[in-house]
Amino acid sequence: MNRVRVAVLCSGGGTNLQAILDRAQAGGIPHGEIALVLTDNAGAYAIERAKAAGVEYLVVDKKQVPDRGEREALILAALKERGIGLVVLAGFMTILSDDFVKQYEMRIINVHPSLIPSFCGAGFYGLKVHEAALARGVKVTGATVHYVNEVCDGGPIIAQKAVLVEEGDTPKSLQLRVMREAEWVIFPAAVETVCKKLTGEEV
């Protein structure tokens, strides 16, 4: 079976990375191999998760390499060197340039903690998304996995899962429920869906 080499890019704790690693370990991503964890933050806990899973990790630290163009060049070189076929953004806090995205067209995916097109685009990340959802009074929110293109949160949607907003929710309690009930479910599944497509097999 053809397997796509996957790189997961993280900036922080890596909870979505962990969900992907767990699914892969359980045999749930047969068409993909998690080959690299790359972070732009030398203090990211994602590094510990990669070590525990026996996956190669690489740090291209923002503080060490403050120029975004230079960082992207280093990241791209690392991806090409390792024959990476799919790039997964799991809490990667740098918006990639159009040039970068074009090099991996329809081969970069991201998870966003809302039902796109609600509460997405520039400025909507992390707790801000859940704060906005609660401020608006929505009864249902969720998560979306989508392809990354030159428009922030604008690429084609791969998967969505709805999550109910509960009475008394805070941005933090809502964030946790969306992660548990939606992100950690659909993101690893989407990695397999896209890997299978990239191998040329029917989905």
Q: Which active-site residues does the annotation give?
A: 112
Contact call for residues 144 and 162 (beta carbons, < 8 A) = no
Residues in CB range of 54: below 8 A, 6 or more apart: none
Token match 């990354």: residue?
A: 148
DSSP calls for 114-154 = S-TTSS-STT--THHHHHHHHHHT-SEEEEEEEE--SSTT-
- Single-letter code of the amino acid located at 119: F
Residues in CB range of 41: below 8 A, 6 or more apart: 11, 12, 59, 61, 62, 93
C-alpha 111: how far from chain center: 5
- The span from the CA of 121 to the CA of 113, in Å, is 11
- The span from the CA of 141 to the CA of 188, in Å, is 19
